[in-house]
């Protein structure tokens, strides 16, 4: 019933803009025609968010945490309907979607726990020194605080965990901000169901309905109006480099510029050093084949570039990897846009004289190309992300060539080193620290742990802000501002800065970390 509707500050509405169609990726049958929103609906959603902000930012932290936990509970309460709807729209399969729902609810609960604990506010206190000469020192206290309405753009490849109620929404809500989601047009019914879950949690917690809106649509103008709205204070986006950059530029060129945190994909270079390949080529090849084809290669952390040093071992590795990729049954691609992009790229690579197709080559299975290290160095476009179960094996003549190739790379979300105490690993790591947000040893980049230490980011063009993460609890910082108070009376200070420290949070007090209260 709500499958084609938008939720605008509490009201379920048909969009008044252009229509778009959703398909079943398994058979390309039409699932539904939906109405996208128009500008006046974008405006109402953002105005609703701005009104809700005034209430929500003052909401007690325990209540804020309970609300976010209720969102997770309401997602689970949707039961099989959510999984089946989502499978119909994405073809990702019930087991994978069950896992992704667990992750989505898990990260909401992790943010709720973070809010309740409270130390994420990075409270700092420097107490007064009234008798300091030549001038007295004031009491100064600094804390993170919410920003205002946040726009979140859903990704197609994680219809739950990076979509309507995914990581960015969870982080923004945890920081005390309302959210306006631009739903992905590949899974509108899934988005609407998730919106109905947060709608229930909002009602249960007596929060203002404007706290969350879902805008459906496929028109670029909807996205642009959302980013340009003067009351939007930051944007989270996961998707292509092309769209991410457009949105970033829109945010930066506003009269009041705002940060657009765009995670735009990555080719995730993986390096296998000689001793590692010698000792465990079968294990690495099989693991790698699984990582390349996981989710039909539609993970932003898919390893798309594999570097080896050419040798008898690397030839044997190539053989096992080729076989393993050929053996794996891949699933569907998420939508026709991804399919046509992949078809075009495979066709171009097929005609590229420097590349050899050594496994697959068709759009409905895993594909592996090979290229020499010198040809890789001369064809920088081979570093571009190919969305789908495709990788390029780069066979380097020697370690210098491998290190030169590593140095030539742009920014990626991850870089992986397989090393059995190989002496070259130290130099490689030093290069990769400048290129990737996460460096993985003897593993595979797919599978992003949601935890305080995770950094899912990386230098441009992987993301627009290398120091910001879109996965893990540190993501709360992207949706925070900062304020400091000078000589404020205790009853004017936010909880985190009060002398009593009622929540017992960790604070930097006169340069020392402590969870103690301040002696007044």
Cis bond before residue 338 (omega within 30° of 0)? no
Comparison of 315 and 426: residue with beta carbon closer to a copy of itself:
426
The vertex-515 CA angle with 510 and 518, nearest 5°, equals 55
| 304 within 8 A of 385, measured Cβ to Cβ | yes
* Contacting range for a copy of itself; rule: CB under 8 A; set: 11-19, 352-360, 361-369, 454-462: 454-462
Among 350, 434, 500, 516, binds a copy of itself (CB under 8 A): 434
366-404 burial string, b = 16+ CB within 10 Å, else e? bbbbbbbbbbbbeeeebbebbbbbbbbbbbbeebebbbb
Measured from the Cβ of residue 313, the count of other Cβ atoms closer than 10 Å reads 18
Catalytic residue (choose from 86, 300, 396, 480) = 300
* Contacting range for a copy of itself; rule: CB under 8 A; set: 184-192, 198-206, 248-256, 277-285: 248-256
Catalytic residue (choose from 263, 385, 401, 424) = 263
If one asks whether residue 397 binds a copy of itself (CB under 8 A), the answer comes out as no
- 300 is an active site residue: yes
If one asks whether residue 176 binds a copy of itself (CB under 8 A), the answer comes out as no
CA–CA dist 19, 4 (Å, integer): 10
* Span 88-107, contacts to a copy of itself by CB under 8 A: none
Comparison of 83 and 218: residue with beta carbon closer to a copy of itself:
83
Residue 181, sorted as left (phi over 0), alpha (psi -120 to 50) or beta, turns out to be beta
If one asks whether residue 400 binds a copy of itself (CB under 8 A), the answer comes out as no
User: Helix 61-77 and helix 79-90: axis angle, to 10°?
Assistant: 70
Q: For a copy of itself, what does the binding mask look like between residues 403 and 432, x meaning CB under 8 A?
A: --------x-------------xx--x---
User: Helix 167-174 and helix 94-117: axis angle, to 10°?
Assistant: 20
Among 2, 55, 66, 140, binds a copy of itself (CB under 8 A): 140
**Whole-number minimum distance, CB 36 to a copy of itself, in Å?**
28
Comparison of 21 and 253: residue with beta carbon closer to a copy of itself:
253
The beta strand positions in 338-479, using DSSP E, are: 356-359, 367-372, 390-396, 412-418, 436-441
If one asks whether residue 487 binds a copy of itself (CB under 8 A), the answer comes out as yes
Contacting positions for a copy of itself (CB under 8 A): 119, 124-126, 135, 137-138, 140-142, 144-145, 147-148, 248-249, 252-253, 256-257, 259, 411, 425-426, 429, 433-434, 436-443, 447, 449, 451-455, 457, 459-461, 464-469, 474, 477, 480-489, 492, 506, 508, 511, 513, 515
């Amino acid at each position: 019933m709500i499958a084609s509707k938008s939720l605008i500050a509490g009201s379920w509405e048909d969009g008044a803009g252009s229509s778009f169609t959703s398909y079943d990726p398994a058979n390309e049958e039409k699932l539904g025609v939906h109405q996208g929103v128009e500008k006046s609906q974008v405006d109402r959603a953002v105005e609703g968010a701005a009104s809700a902000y005034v209430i929500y930012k003052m909401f007690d932290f325990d209540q804020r945490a309970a609300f976010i936990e209720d969102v997770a509970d309401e997602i689970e309460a949707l039961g099989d309907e959510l999984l089946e709807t989502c499978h119909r729209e994405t073809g990702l399969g019930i087991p994978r979607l069950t896992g992704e729902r667990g992750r989505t609810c898990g990260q909401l609960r992790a943010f709720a726990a973070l809010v309740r604990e409270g130390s994420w506010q990075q409270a700092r206190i420097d107490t007064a020194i009234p008798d300091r000469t030549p001038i007295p020192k004031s009491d100064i206290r600094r804390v993170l605080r919410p920003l205002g309405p946040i726009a979140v753009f859903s990704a197609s490849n994680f219809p739950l965990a990076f979509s309507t109620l995914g990581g960015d929404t969870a982080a923004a809500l945890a920081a005390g901000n309302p959210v306006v989601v631009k739903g992905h047009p590949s899974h509108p019914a899934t988005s609407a169901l998730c919106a109905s879950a947060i709608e229930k949690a909002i009602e249960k917690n007596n929060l203002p309905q404007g706290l969350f809106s879902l805008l459906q649509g496929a028109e670029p103008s909807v996205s642009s109006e959302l980013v340009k709205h003067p009351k939007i204070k930051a944007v989270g986006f996961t998707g292509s480099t092309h769209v991410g950059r457009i949105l970033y530029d829109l945010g930066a060129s506003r009269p009041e510029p705002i940060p657009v945190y765009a995670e735009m994909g990555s080719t995730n270079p993986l390096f296998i050093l000689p001793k590692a390949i010698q000792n465990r080529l079968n294990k690495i090849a099989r693991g790698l084949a699984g990582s390349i084809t996981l989710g039909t290669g539609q993970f932003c952390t898919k390893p798309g570039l594999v570097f080896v040093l050419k040798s008898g071992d690397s030839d044997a590795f190539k053989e096992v990897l080729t076989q393993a990729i050929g053996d794996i049954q891949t699933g569907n691609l998420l939508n026709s846009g991804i399919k046509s992009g992949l078809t075009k790229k495979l066709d171009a690579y097929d005609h590229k004289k420097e590349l050899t197709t050594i496994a697959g080559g068709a759009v409905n299975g895993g594909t592996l190309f090979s290229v020499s290290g010198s040809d890789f160095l001369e064809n920088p476009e081979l570093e571009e992300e190919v969305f789908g179960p495709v990788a390029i094996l780069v066979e380097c003549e020697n370690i210098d060539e491998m290190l030169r190739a590593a140095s030539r790379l742009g920014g990626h979300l991850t870089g992986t080193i397989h090393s059995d105490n190989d002496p070259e690993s130290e130099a490689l790591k030093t290069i990769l620290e400048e290129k990737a947000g996460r460096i993985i040893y003897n593993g595979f980049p797919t599978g992003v742990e949601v935890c305080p230490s995770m950094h899912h980011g990386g230098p441009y063009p992987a993301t627009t802000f290398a120091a910001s993460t879109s996965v893990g609890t540190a993501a709360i910082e992207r949706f925070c501002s900062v304020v400091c108070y000078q000589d404020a009376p205790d009853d004017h200070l936010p909880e985190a800065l009060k002398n009593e420290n009622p929540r017992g949070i960790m604070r930097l007090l006169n340069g020392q970390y402590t969870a103690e209260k301040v002696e007044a």
